[in-house]
Structure formats: C-alpha cells, structure tokens
Chains A and B, each alone.
Chain A
Amino acid sequence: MVFSSYIFLFYFLPLVLLIYYALPWLIRSLGKSEDILSRSRNGFLLVMSYVFYGWWNPWFILLMLLVTTVNYLCGKMMAAPGASPRRRFVGVTLAVAISLGTLGFFKYFMFFQTNLNQMLSWVGVEGLPVLQIILPMGISFYTFHALSYSIDVFRRQAPPVRSFADFACYISLYPQLVAGPIIRYNTVADQLVQRTHTWDKFASGVSLFILGLSKKVLLANPIGGIADAAFNAHSLQASDAWFGVTAYAFQIYFDFSGYSDMAVGLGRMIGFEFMKNFDSPYLADGITDFWRRWHISLSTFLRDYLYIPLGGNRKGPRRTYLNLTIVMLLGGLWHGANWTFIAWGAYHGLLLAFERYLGKESIYHRLPRPGRIGITFVLILFSWVLFRSPTLGDAGHYLGGMLGLVGGDGHPVLVAAQLYGRGQWILMALGAGILLSPFRAHDWSRTVTWPKALALVPALVLAVMAMCSQAFNPFLYFQF
C-alpha cells in the first residue's frame, strides 16, 4: 500500500486510527490493566502493519516473519540470564548471517548470477540459467531494523524486547516499514512499551503528514515527469540534460523526504517519535555536510553499525579513507543490485575520503557559502545521473549529454516540449524556492498554530485532488 493512495488515505488510515484510539475504551470496559492496553495497541498495529505489507503480495509476509522470528530468538539467546560471551556472539552472528543472507539472496543473487554468466561468457563458457527472484518490498529496510535490534542487544545498548508481538510490531510498523526512516531499536525500545498520545502530538503528526503528501503528489510526481522526459530521451542538448538531472534531484528529494515526513507524521499520530531523515540537504556546502543532511537515518546507521566497527578513524588516515570508501560502496549496493548504485557509492566514498584528507573541508571551502553550496549541488547532480540511470552505459550517455558530447540529430529539440512548458517552469521554480528557503517541515510541524492550520487545509485539498488525478506512482525508495 502506498501512503499517497486513495485506499490508504480514505480506508486504511481512518480505520487504523479509529480502532487504535477506541482500544482504551474497550480495554477499560473489559476491566483490563494499562499494561494490556499497551500490548493490545501494539498487537493491533502489528496486524494492520501485516495487512499493509501483505497488500503488495501476501506471500512476502512469510519472509518478514522469518527475519523477525530469527532475530527475536537470537535476541532471547543473547539476553538469557547468564548468557556467556560465546553464546552472545553466536546469537548475534546467527542473526546477522541469516538476515543478511536473506537480503543477499533476494536482492543480490540475480545480480551475482548475471555477472557470473557475463564473466563466464568472456572465457567462452555458457552461463547458468538466471534464477528469477522477486524482490520483496522494503526488505532492505526491515532487515536493517532487525539487525539493529540484534546488534543493540548484543552490545547491551538496548534491553531485549518484552514480547514477540512487540518485536514484530517494531519490525513491521507500517509508517516506516517499506522506505524508512531506518528506525534503530534502541531509539524506540521505550516507546514500544510506553508512549504518550496527546492532541498536540497528533496534530503535529497531521501537519507533517500533509506536508509530506503535498511534497509527493504536488511536487515530486509532476517534476518526475520532467526528469523522465530527459532521461528517456535518445539524445539531449547539454542544457536539457542539466535541466533534466536538476529535475531528478528535486524529484528524489521531494519524493523521499515527502515519504519520510509522512512516516514520521503517521508515527506521531500513534504516539511514536521517529528521527528526522532530511535536513535541507541541497544547502550542504560540502559532501561531508551533505551526508549529515541526506537520509540521516541511513548515514548514521552505516556509521554506527559499519564504519565504526571497521575501525572508523581510529586506525590512521589511510584506513579511514578506505573505511569511508567501503562504507559508501556498501551503502550504494544497499540501494540496489546494479553497477550504477555501486558506482554512485564509490563516487560518494571517494569524495568523502578526499574531503577527509582535506580535514573534513571541501577543496572549495574558501569560497563564499553560496558558491560552496552551488558546487556541492553540481557534484551531487553528477551522482544522481548514476543513481537514476538503468545502466552504466546509460549513465555515460547522459553524462555525455551534460558535457555536450552527445550529438543532436533533430530530435533533441522535441524534448523541449516536455521540459520547458509553463507548468514545468512553475514547478521547478516552486521546488527551487522551497529547497533554498529555511523552511524545515520537521521543525515547522512541531507546533501547530492557527495560521499553520489554515495553510494546511488548501495543501491537503490540493494534494488529495492531485492524488486522485494521478496514475499510480509509488515512492522511488520502494524499489530499495
């Protein structure tokens, strides 16, 4: 199910909210304790989250259940009274191996087989038939959620979960299930047991949800049409290629941050507080700064669960550069089984390593801030070409277009009709205005005031109208 869909907005969400908030009355009328209320609410959220997830394909639920069960049992093994260090190590190793093994099989096996066959063909050996595997939605996200639990329990940074239902609820919680933010267990462990439900928290959730929905359907989807036109074009003039990749940069930001806003907003509506996932990333004045602002939940996850265990910056400069590059390479691979994502990760890793070499400064750090922001944005645009292109060849073709190396045969002029209409200019200007403004949806929505409430009404109406008029348009990060 997609947040920006008719069924989610007008059937699933009201049903969940009404029953969720009706549960206390039911529990009290049955004379049960407050502890039962918390458990029943989590149990209800678990059931509805499984419905939400099973909506894509009911069979995917079994896989999520497997990952959940393995990590729960490993957590119990590690947290058992008197568990030896060896037992704890075996527990975390099993959890990591099975979780990553599952992710590896479903996400990377086809990629591995295809590349193996390619290499075999170079030496004249016929390849094996490629096993066709469907990628379950959100597997990268819930695997990371599960891993964070096992590792946090192993490190004694979080208490073991009180029940399987609570743990399954944490793994499957519908707001953040399929595209994050990546919620670490130790940040929600207490909330799973006890969380507050207040009018102001709910209202702030509503406002953040509406802002996220508006970003998605009013900006990301139509701007995505501009990016699609450019990236699908056979040949492009340089200006069109730059315009197209800028549109993609806007699209992926509004799409993903819109999703994150909706996820955090939905979480607030049911009493959870999730971390902020974006912080005006296109105002970053260097690549290091960019990664403090873009997909924060992933970058901090990789830092805490990969970069630091690899040695972080504790083993000398060279090892630091290597660690940064490895982390970003794996971060790229996490996004998808494609050489384009690996190249994207490598590009960012090298840029980060270079900035680290310069003392966490960019080479252009002496420029005025607008200049630093501008150059960083251009560096990011090159990386989005890798991210958006289906193959490295396509990425090279597009980059060639940006550099004016792809010749025109008459057809590039027609791309203009799809790129430079009145609507496209308005949307791009609006997008740029929002991106360059100090507006932060996450912070803006903290407290709802009357002027804000009045501003949310047309935003919701327009967003719902646009949602009803658009074709099915899932979030970009669903594919990961």
Chain B
Amino acid sequence: MRRPRIVDVVVTVGFVLALCSAGAIQTFIELCRGQRLQALDIFRQKPSAANVRAYEKNLEDFSWVSQKLRHRMQYLQYVMLNDAGEKALPGLDGWMFYKPGVEYLVAGGRAITKAKVGPDPLAAIAEFQDELALRGIRLLVVPVPNKESVYPEKLTSRAANLHGIRSGQTSDLLDRLSLAGVETVDLFAEFAQAKQRQTNPADGPLYLVQDSHWSPSGVAVAARAVVSRLLNRGWIGLGSVSYDTKLAPVQRIGDVLRMLQVPEIEQTASPESISCLQVIHPDSGMPYRDDPESEILVIGDSFLRIYETDEPESAGLIAHLAKELKRPLTSLVSDGGASTLVRQELYRRPALLKNKRVVIWEFVERDIEFGAEGWQIIPLPPVPSGTVEKSSGENGP
C-alpha cells in the first residue's frame, strides 16, 4: 500500500478536528457552566418537523463559536463590502436605511422575500372608523412616509434629482381611503414642502441619519399638519394649557445601526446629536404627561415612541400634538405593531376610549405591506359600564 502523503494526512485530520471543534467547545462550556448539554435536546422531544427546526435553530443561536464568528463576519462584510446585513442598507453620506422599507418601495406590492401580510388595510381601517363612529368618535389616519420616500437622494446618487417618492401601493391606499371617506393627513406632501422650505442646513433633515425614524424637525412638521387638520375639520378645539418647550439635546446611536448587532460597528460609530424640544408644563416645568381623560387618543408605533418615552422623554409627536392643541392627550404605542397589535391592545384596555371624541391612528408606510400580524379586523372593546354611547350623528361635520 502506498504510503500516505503528509499533506493529505494534515488536510484530513485538520478538517475533521475543525469539524469537531465547535461541538467540543460547546460541550466543554456547558459542562463548565453546569448546564444541560444542548446537543442532547434532540433526544428529549418528539422528532417532529417543528421540534427539529427549533432544535437546529437553538443549537446555532446559542453556540459560542457561532456567536463569536457571526458578528466578526458581519463587521468584516460591513467594512470590506459595505454590506450591512439583512436589515440595513447603507446610503450616501453616512445615511443608513431600513432595508424592508426600501424593499417596500422598490417592490411596489409585488411578492417579495417576506410573506405578504394578508388582509387589505382598507377593510381594517374602514371597519375601525365605522365602529368608532357608532360611538361618536372621529378617526384621523396618519401614514408616516418611509425615510427613503422622503430622502431617496440619500439612498443612491441616481435619485439626486428626486426629492420624494411615493410608492404606488401607498398612493393607492390613500386614494381608496379617501374614496371610503376616511380622513387622512398627507405627510408626504407636508414633508416635501418642508424639505423645500429648509434653506438653513442647521435645521437638520426631517429624518435621522442613522435611524429609521424622524428627527425632531420631522416631528414638528407632522404635529403641525395633524393639528391643522383637526382644527380645520372642527373636530376639536384648542385647549387651555399653554405648554412650554425647552431644549433637550440627546446623543443617539440609530436603530438601523443597532439592528446590525455588531458591537464593533456600534463602538466605532459616532452617536447622532439630536436637538429635541421637550414639552413642559408651564407652571411646574415638569415634562408633559398624558391624561387618560383626554378627548383625543393617539395610537401608533415607534414613531410615537421616539423622543416621547425614549430619551429625552416628552419630546415626541404625542407631546408636540398636545402642545399645538394646548391640551393633554391619551396615547397607546405598540412598537412595529400599528397595523393590528395596537388595536388588539386597545381592545384589552377599554378605558382608553373613555371620553374620546377623536382617535389619531399613526402607522409607518411600510406596514401597509409588512405590518406585524397583517391588517386584521379587530372589534372595539365593549363600552365600559356607566358610559353612554353617542349616536353616529352626534358629532357630524
């Protein structure tokens, strides 16, 4: 028999050792930590397809080797290929975009990698409006443009001459909402005008550079547009609380950067300096707080949460709506869940509708296609005892 060549032996043994290393290291770590051996979990459950999938996923997700390698590779890809992974898309001048938002805009309703979310948003919105109307409550719908809809020129140099894009799918929904008699605020037009008006670079863009959300300037534009619509329609009048504002600068690593889950990138990135205007009570100087007895309920997603419950607090859309309306509001926020989850939460908390005359429903544009749990029809919660329902015509236009 021919004597084996050393290189063949080295390659063979080296390869087998490399294959064995991950399992051996994981076993060693688990034994040292006194944990149960995860690899043996397969023998602890019925071998169904679902169990096997879950086992495989856990094995990889909790693997020490996999965890160590994963973010190093992502960092390498980011540095060498400018590839920001599954969720982020680097734009120009340091701008980062949330990839599903770009996909929503580019695909324009065609089936894309993620499963489509199901029922038509119009049906859910119209049903919600009808049910609210039965209680004498008005609905104002506020779709928030994706960042890339407002700043396409920051995504690619090809869009240098475009100052705003509206997805065909978004336009279609807005048109159909209008035909169905649903009142909407067109923030696309408002933001386009605001961009054109911005001549001073110090004003800053309407969206954050590293984040998928709007900036304080964007919040201010949206708040003014919503309040203007409410007042014009006569649905609600100005209150009597003259809120004040104070400058509240914050430093923030954008959510798109954090989505990469690569510590090296977060550590090297400079936080974005954001000049927020915190809404404060004129007498006490205390930050704005919601009032459950308010006549206005605001529901929505993280576009309501940013600056409001995040740093610096009371500087988000809710507080600025309150300031413009001179009255406190009630709010309900569900991160990423404005399509269905927030209404499910509302169903569980009927007291939130107490005394309400107006509901403002904010959702981000991409949720038209990707909203978590789709656009289910969710009934309103039962009327709390002791509350009298108003007829639909009581607050007619």
Contact = CB atoms under 8 A, between A and B. Distances in A.
Contacts of A56: 49
Interface residues of B, number: 67
Nearest to A410: B165
Interface in A413-471: 413-418, 420-423, 426-427, 448-450, 453, 456, 460, 462, 464-466, 468-469, 471
B12 A234 contact: no
Contact of A9 (B4, B19, B90, B111): B19
Contact of A11 (B5, B23, B48): B23
Contacts of B155: 414, 417
A469 B261 CA distance: 11
B82 A5 contact: no
A404 interface: no
Given A56-B49, A199-B4, A232 B106 contact: yes
B89 A418 contact: yes
Contact of A234 (B60, B107, B113): B107
B112 A232 contact: yes
Contact of B60 (A6, A18, A418): A6
Nearest to A465: B73
Contact of B12 (A206, A410, A413): A206
Contacts of B148: 414
Contacts of B250: none
Contacts of A10: 19-23, 63, 65
B344 interface: no
Contacts of A202: 8, 12
A218 to B, nearest CB: 10
Interface in B133-190: 148, 152, 155-156, 158-159, 162, 165, 167-168
Contact of B107 (A11, A233, A420): A233
Contacts of B108: 233-235, 411
Given A410-B165, A417-B89, A11 B12 contact: no
Output the residue of A390, A417, A462 with the most chain B CB within 10 A: A417
A13 B4 contact: no
B336 to A, nearest CB: 19
B115 interface: no
A162 B82 CA distance: 56
A55 interface: yes
B74 interface: yes
A415 B21 CA distance: 42
Contact of A453 (B10, B48, B77, B82): B10
A413 B156 CA distance: 8
Nearest to B26: A10
Contacts of B10: 453
A207 interface: yes
A190 interface: no
B165 A469 contact: no
A411 B167 contact: yes
Given A14-B23, A229-B106, A234-B110, A453 B11 contact: yes
B60 A7 contact: yes
Contact of A203 (B7, B60, B159): B7
B102 interface: yes
A431 to B, nearest CB: 13
Given A421-B90, A423-B82, A232 B110 contact: yes
A13 B19 contact: yes
A133 to B, nearest CB: 16
B388 interface: no
Interface string B257-295: 000000000000000000000000000000000000000
A56 B50 CA distance: 9
Contacts of A229: 103, 106
Interface string A191-224: 0000000111011001100100000000000100
B69 interface: yes
A411 B4 CA distance: 61
Contact of B63 (A6, A17, A469): A6
Contacts of B16: 14, 17-18
Contacts of A228: 112-113
B47 to A, nearest CB: 6
B389 interface: no
Contacts of A411: 105-106, 108, 165, 167-168
A187 interface: no
Nearest to A235: B108
B83 A421 contact: yes
A311 interface: no
B231 interface: no
Contacts of B12: 199, 202-203, 206
Contacts of A101: none
A54 interface: yes
Nearest to A449: B7
Interface string A24-56: 000000000000000000000000000000111
A316 B155 CA distance: 60
A413 B5 contact: no
A199 B9 contact: yes
A317 interface: no
A6 B152 CA distance: 38
A407 interface: no
Nearest to A54: B47
Contacts of A232: 103, 106-107, 110-113
B69 A464 contact: yes
Given A14-B20, A229-B106, A414-B148, A468 B66 contact: yes
A57 interface: yes
Contact of A57 (B49, B69, B86): B49
Contact of A448 (B7, B22, B65, B168): B7
Output the residue of B15, B22, B108 with the most chain A CB within 10 A: B15
Contacts of B109: 234
Contacts of B49: 56-58
The 8 closest A-B pairs by CB, nearest first: A423-B81, A234-B108, A465-B73, A199-B4, A10-B22, A203-B8, A469-B73, A199-B8
Given A14-B16, A411-B106, A426-B80, 4 more contacts: A10-B19, A11-B23, A448-B8, A453-B7
Interface of A: 5-7, 9-11, 13-14, 17-18, 54-58, 198-200, 202-203, 206-207, 210, 222, 228-229, 232-235, 390, 409-411, 413-418, 420-423, 426-427, 448-450, 453, 456, 460, 462, 464-466, 468-469, 471
Interface of B: 2, 4-5, 7-12, 15-16, 18-23, 39, 47-49, 52, 56, 59-60, 63, 65-66, 69-74, 76-77, 80-83, 85-86, 89-91, 97, 102-103, 105-113, 148, 152, 155-156, 158-159, 162, 165, 167-168
21 contacts: A6-B22, A10-B63, A17-B19, A57-B49, A58-B49, A199-B8, A200-B8, A203-B11, A206-B12, A222-B81, A222-B83, A232-B111, A233-B106, A233-B110, A413-B152, A416-B159, A417-B91, A417-B97, A421-B82, A423-B77, A469-B85
